[in-house]
Amino acid sequence: MRPVYALGAGVHPWGKWPDKPQLQLALEAMDTALADAGVAWPDVQALAAASSRFEGGMGWGLHANEVVQAVAEQGMPCINVGGACAAGVIALQSAYSLIASGQYDVVAALGAERMPKGFIPRPPGSKDDRTDNDYLRWVTMGATNPAYWAIEARRRQHDHGTTAETLAKASVLMRRNAAGNRYARYRDPVGVEEVFASPMVADPLHLLQICPVSDGAAAVILGSEDFVKRSGKPAVRVAGCAVGSGQFGDPARRIPTIATTVREGIPHTSEVAGAVRRAFDMAGVAPKDIDVLEMADNTAWHILAWPELFGFYEPGQGDWMLENGKLAIDGEIAVNPSGGFLSFGEATTAQALLQVTEILWQLRGQAEGHQVSDAKVGMTAVLGLGANGGSVILTR
């Protein structure tokens, strides 16, 4: 396998953009990424795009094809990948493989999303189907996504004594980080009192402890070592890039299932934990080497629990780490210096590429307003419906 580099990245700011179709968000993110990489469309040899079920893609998830038909009809392969909230990292994995294999030298990965308002519903027109968990969870008990995360959070309180205040402080940290990030949607800092004053959605999680939904787009341009040498541009190494799916017996309360068969010794959220482990192995690094972690904080609970699941520290220690400032931008390991999903809102299929973009900027020292001092190794971790997990490690 050949080494792979991140040449550049671009983001369309997260928010609500009622006047911009999904394709427009995609094109703007691509333009920004190409300029950042110092390349142009004729240099791009393949495009891997995350497929959305909400908009665009001609109804078939053909989001890469829509982009090239708009701006780059040059015969390139269009790879459209599903993976729900992890689709962006699967697109990146596809682009990575095309370069690592030696087939191409410059490949783009793209995710762009406009989200419907409110709780994510079943796809319109879905038939009543009692073999479909996403049907069963609604009709039998009305279990919203936050209810699944809340059940995890409540159990953590039971197992580790996590207090409501600590859970609130996770949101406070994310909003404090976002204050310095011009791409984030929610940039006003909040205090513990404001978190508690926000409506309870699913105990113990308040509105400000659950990621909203947003529109946004992100693109990353990858290149081969040959290309990097030829172009003479500084590039950051993609040292680890792994995707995977879940393991039998995983105790996570996996959306949208209504039951779980649990087996001893299987990691919680195994699809992500497994991808993280493989990314560590590929990169030849360990948790102690990571300066900055961008992880999917669908809720405040994730901020406390996920680094533990990945072996950064012992189960239950996340509370102490957060309370003592160890997860802050100037802490031991900066968790979501971007502000995370809690400050961006989730633009599902674009989110994983936003994470990679953030790590790239951190390693270049370009994370204006929320820079982690001298960041050398950064990691992403993301989870998607269907037990899709992915993780990327960048090094300089």
Partner 1 sequence: MNGADPEMVVEGLVEMGSSGPRLIGSHCLGCGTLYFPQMPGCPNPDCHDKRLERTLLPDEGTLYSYTIQRYQPPPLFRMDDWAPYVLGLVDLGAGLRVMGMLSGIGENEVEIGMKLRLAVESLYRDAERGDVCTYMFAAAGDRA
**Given the complex with partner 1, which of 68 and 387 has the nearer CB atom?**
387
Supply the minimum distance, in Å, between the C-beta of residue 337 and partner 1: 30
Q: Is 140 in the site for partner 1 (CB under 8 A)?
A: yes
C-alpha to C-alpha distance for 316 and 239, rounded to whole angstroms? 29
Site string for partner 1, 119-138 (x = CB under 8 A): x-xx-----x-xx---xxxx
Q: Are 377 and 291 in contact (CB under 8 A)?
A: yes
C-alpha to C-alpha distance for 395 and 377, rounded to whole angstroms? 5
Supply the minimum distance, in Å, between the C-beta of residue 26 and partner 1: 28
The pair of structure tokens assigned to 362 is 């951190």
Q: Is 154 in the site for partner 1 (CB under 8 A)?
A: yes
**Given the complex with partner 1, which of 109 and 170 has the nearer CB atom?**
170
Binding footprint of partner 1, residue count (CB under 8 A):
44
Q: Are 162 and 304 in contact (CB under 8 A)?
A: yes
Stretch (H or E) spanning 80: strand 78-81
Q: Is 253 in the site for partner 1 (CB under 8 A)?
A: yes
HSE-up of 281 (CA within 13 Å, CB side)?
8
Supply the minimum distance, in Å, between the C-beta of residue 257 and partner 1: 8
**Given the complex with partner 1, which of 70 and 200 has the nearer CB atom?**
200
Supply the minimum distance, in Å, between the C-beta of residue 194 and partner 1: 18
C-alpha to C-alpha distance for 312 and 204, rounded to whole angstroms? 25
**Given the complex with partner 1, which of 155 and 277 has the nearer CB atom?**
155
What number of other Cβ atoms are within 10 A of residue 125's Cβ? 5
Supply the minimum distance, in Å, between the C-beta of residue 269 and partner 1: 15
Site string for partner 1, 254-273 (x = CB under 8 A): ---xxxxxxx----------
Q: Are 85 and 319 in contact (CB under 8 A)?
A: no
**Given the complex with partner 1, which of 37 and 252 has the nearer CB atom?**
252
Query: CB within 8 A of 106, min separation 6: which ones?
Result: 7, 39, 43, 44, 45, 99, 221, 222, 223, 224, 227
Stretches 58-66, 71-79, 98-106, 149-157: which one binds partner 1 (CB under 8 A)? 149-157
Query: CB within 8 A of 6, min separation 6: which ones?
Result: 220, 221, 222, 223, 235, 236, 237, 238, 356, 360, 394
**Given the complex with partner 1, which of 162 and 181 has the nearer CB atom?**
162
**Given the complex with partner 1, which of 71 and 136 has the nearer CB atom?**
136
Stretch (H or E) spanning 175: helix 164-178
HSE-up of 223 (CA within 13 Å, CB side)?
25
**Secondary structure class of 13 (helix, strand, coil):** strand
Q: Is 155 in the site for partner 1 (CB under 8 A)?
A: yes
Supply the minimum distance, in Å, between the C-beta of residue 81 and partner 1: 23
Q: Is 324 in the site for partner 1 (CB under 8 A)?
A: no
Supply the minimum distance, in Å, between the C-beta of residue 118 and partner 1: 8
Q: Is 200 in the site for partner 1 (CB under 8 A)?
A: yes
Q: Is 141 in the site for partner 1 (CB under 8 A)?
A: yes
C-alpha to C-alpha distance for 219 and 205, rounded to whole angstroms? 32
Interface residues with partner 1 (CB under 8 A)?
A: 118-119, 121-122, 128, 130-131, 135-144, 147, 150-155, 158, 199-205, 247-249, 251, 253, 257-263
